[in-house]
Amino acid sequence: MKEIKFSLVYRDMWQSSGKYVPKREMLEKIAPLIIEMGCFSRVETNGGASEQVNLLFGENPNESVRAFTKPFNEVGIKTHMLDRGLNGLRMNPVPADVRRLMYKVKKAQGVDITRIFCGLNDVRNIIPSIKWAKEAGMIPQATMCITSSEVHTAEYYINMSEELIAAGAEEICLKDMAGIGRPVLLGNIVRSIKTNHPDIIVQYHGHSGPGFSMASMLEVAKAGADILDVAMEPLAWGMVHPDVISVQAMLKDAGFKVPEINMNAYMKARKMTQSFIDDYLGYFIDDRNKLMTSLLVGCGLPGGMMGSLMADLKGVHAAINSFHRSKAQPEISEDELLVQLFEEVKYIWPKLGFPPLVTPFSQYVKNIALMNVMNMTMGKGRWQAIDRNSWDMILGKAGKLPGALDAEIIELATKNNYEFFEGNPQDNYPDELPKFIEEMKKNGWSRGKDDEELFEFAMHEKQYRDFKSGEAKRRFEQELETAIREKYSKLNLPMPEIRKIMYPEAEPITAAASGKILWELDFLDRSIEPAYGKLLNENDMLCAIQTRYGVEAIKGIGNARIISVSKKQGDIVNKGDTICYIERVNTPSNN
């Protein structure tokens, strides 16, 4: 009896639903329940966009990863991350020395497996990571991005898998990011891999969007797959993944050996995940992402980008309807625009060389299509707004396209005096770590445990700067406030206190006098960098306000942590204005 194991893709469940992912304290709460369910041999804990998202709402991703992986490490559940190969954890290419450092850092943080993929399926972008992951002690899971086109045949994927295994891959993942891989094709690929390499672990990852996923899971299981990625309610189906309950029942009936599910723990984990949605994460989840649609069969856009896609549609939708109003033409609905976008993606995808529609190339193709739709609506032609990253994809700087470019695209590149690149993509991006090391030293910033802060700075430079300055946290709170206002306005309900939603235990610190803030969060070292989460003692200075009567210092009261800041250096404040919010911390010194 063939045994099939399950991996809970908790990170991807959120990314395929909306813009943001749970914070550290949420992940720490859910981990014991995931373990208690007893049916998962693996959990996807981080990688891809999730660590960048941590920075966007003002949280240190290194602390979050360590906190989430720790309980799984302790009970022997393997953790895995999503790794974009040449792009590392971001949307654009990463220097080789930063990529190499990533595996050292992630292994130290408790991540066991790295799922390495290239959005173009160029093995040159995957093979170096296989080597670096092994050197760091991680398991390299080489990944093939599944899509459906005249180029992406079973033979195409079988040949690719042979190259990856020859390069040292210990596992192969079939990443069916849009769920458009046809079940029989997937079964043929898996059967070939397991026949030629019976010891190679094969894991299947398939989104539910267009509706093939359950049939695909059954086919790959019959063909010899070892592990299936699954989700759980309330973040299952729709643009996400099948729920573990349904997958388990299907495979059990087909005669496979599958783990039992502790349903009491499942219901508790389901309820807790829903509470995260209710707290504030649900404000960034579009209801349409909970639905499946056969429209994806044609355009092939992945579930993982649907959250950002819906956000992008709003701006273009407003611009198009503004144009229609100026011409006394009828407005279009968002659904009508969505269908136009899907049709445009379907049209331009072959012309762009059939790049698998996965991050970041799905975004590039989507962006081009969206701009085409808007420009054509306004009486202009296609290809009027192609961004630099999209051109890099077209010109080969990110890797070799699977198919041939249309003559129309080649002509456009020639017209713009662009040169095509045929070398190794990594050669375009020289090492950069010394630059970041020097700046951290100059700023007095710690490189962190196992160089994790250095890695984060080098991987997500802009977002890390905004995190360190506190700008990310302020921007996120403004974004959340806007989202809440929109929702409560539509429901005609009174506006709640934003920080009470985000931080139920928050206490405000207010100014006793009027004046200008000299130092924001000025601790004993007089750093003006907001140190969110730093434990304050009784005498630590929160900030100093310059008034006409001198300088007023606002100090901590007992032990507390800064969780939110309302003012910044140089702001004018009035007596009684809230400067920041704190959360009391129970320690032996103030119990």
Q: Give dist(CA 565, CA 499) in Å, integer.
A: 10
Residues 557, 562, 563, CA angle at the centre, nearest 5°?
A: 135
Backbone angles phi, psi at 98, to 5 degrees: -75, -40
pLDDT given at position 588: 45
Closest Cα partner for 463 from 96, 175, 137, 50? 50
Residue with the two structure tokens 């014991």: 32
Domain count, the chain: 1
What range does the domain containing 511 cover?
505-584
Give the tens place of pLDDT for each residue, 508-533: 888 888 888 876 655 444 443 445 55
Domain-located, residue 212: no
The three-class DSSP label of residue 260 is: coil
The three-class DSSP label of residue 312 is: helix
Going by pLDDT thresholds of 50, 70 and 90, the confidence category of residue 494 is confident
Closest Cα partner for 19 from 313, 315, 309, 270? 309
Give the pTM.
0.84
CB-neighbour burial class of residue 27 (10 A; exposed 0-12, middle 13-18, buried 19+):
buried
CB-neighbour burial class of residue 568 (10 A; exposed 0-12, middle 13-18, buried 19+):
middle
Beta-strand (E) ranges in 400-549? 507-510, 515-519, 535-536, 541-547
DSSP for 91-150, please give it: SS---HHHHHHHHHHHHHTT--EEEE--TT--GGGTHHHHHHHHHHTPEEEEEEE---SS
- Judge whether 543 and 520 are in contact, CB under 8 Å: yes
pLDDT of residue 504 exceeding 80, the answer is no
pLDDT given at position 492: 83
Q: Which DSSP letter does residue 186 get? A: H
Backbone angles phi, psi at 392, to 5 degrees: -60, -40
Domain-located, residue 526: yes
Give the tens place of pLDDT for each residue, 420-439: 999 999 999 999 999 999 99
Domain-located, residue 580: yes
Domain-located, residue 515: yes
Domain-located, residue 401: no
Domain-located, residue 117: no
pLDDT given at position 43: 98
Closest Cα partner for 115 from 144, 83, 146? 83
Residue 519 belongs to domain with CATH number: 2.40.50.100
Q: Give dist(CA 459, CA 151) in Å, integer.
A: 33
pLDDT given at position 533: 58
The three-class DSSP label of residue 438 is: helix
- Judge whether 101 and 82 are in contact, CB under 8 Å: no
- Judge whether 401 and 118 are in contact, CB under 8 Å: no
Please list the residues that pair with 285 across neighbouring strands: 18
Give the tens place of pLDDT for each residue, 313-324: 777 888 888 888
Which helix (H) or strand (E) segment holds residue 584: the answer is: strand 578-584
The three-class DSSP label of residue 285 is: strand
Q: Which DSSP letter does residue 385 get? A: -
Pair type for strands 578-584 and 560-565: antiparallel
pLDDT given at position 318: 85
DSSP for 321-346, please give it: HHHHHHTT-----HHHHHHHHHHHHH
Give the tens place of pLDDT for each residue, 127-147: 999 999 999 999 999 999 999
Give the tens place of pLDDT for each residue, 65-124: 999 999 999 999 999 999 999 999 998 999 999 999 999 999 999 999 999 999 999 999
CB-neighbour burial class of residue 48 (10 A; exposed 0-12, middle 13-18, buried 19+):
buried
pLDDT given at position 525: 42
- Judge whether 231 and 39 are in contact, CB under 8 Å: no
Distant-in-sequence, close-in-space partners of 416: CB < 8 Å, separation ≥ 6: none
Q: Give dist(CA 106, CA 116) in Å, integer.
A: 13
Structure tokens at 371: 């701009």
pLDDT given at position 339: 85
Q: Give dist(CA 327, CA 330) in Å, integer.
A: 9
CB-neighbour burial class of residue 260 (10 A; exposed 0-12, middle 13-18, buried 19+):
exposed
Distant-in-sequence, close-in-space partners of 452: CB < 8 Å, separation ≥ 6: 62, 105, 108, 109
Q: What is the mean pLDDT of residues 33-50?
A: 96
- Average confidence score pLDDT of the chain: 89
CA distances from 229 to 12, 174, 279, 543 (A): 10, 10, 27, 48
Which of the residue ranges 81-85, 177-181, 542-546, 555-559 would you say has the lowest mean pLDDT? Answer: 555-559
pLDDT of residue 288 exceeding 90, the answer is no
Measured in residues, the chain has a length of 591
Domain-located, residue 565: yes
pLDDT given at position 552: 77
Give the tens place of pLDDT for each residue, 144-189: 999 999 999 999 999 999 999 999 999 999 999 999 999 999 999 9
Q: Which DSSP letter does residue 175 get? A: E
To the nearest 10°, report the CA torsion of 48, 53, 54, 56.
Answer: 150
Q: Give dist(CA 507, CA 122) in Å, integer.
A: 52
Q: Edge-to-edge strand order for the sheet containing 541-547?
A: 550-555, 541-547, 515-519, 572-573
Structure tokens at 180: 């458009």
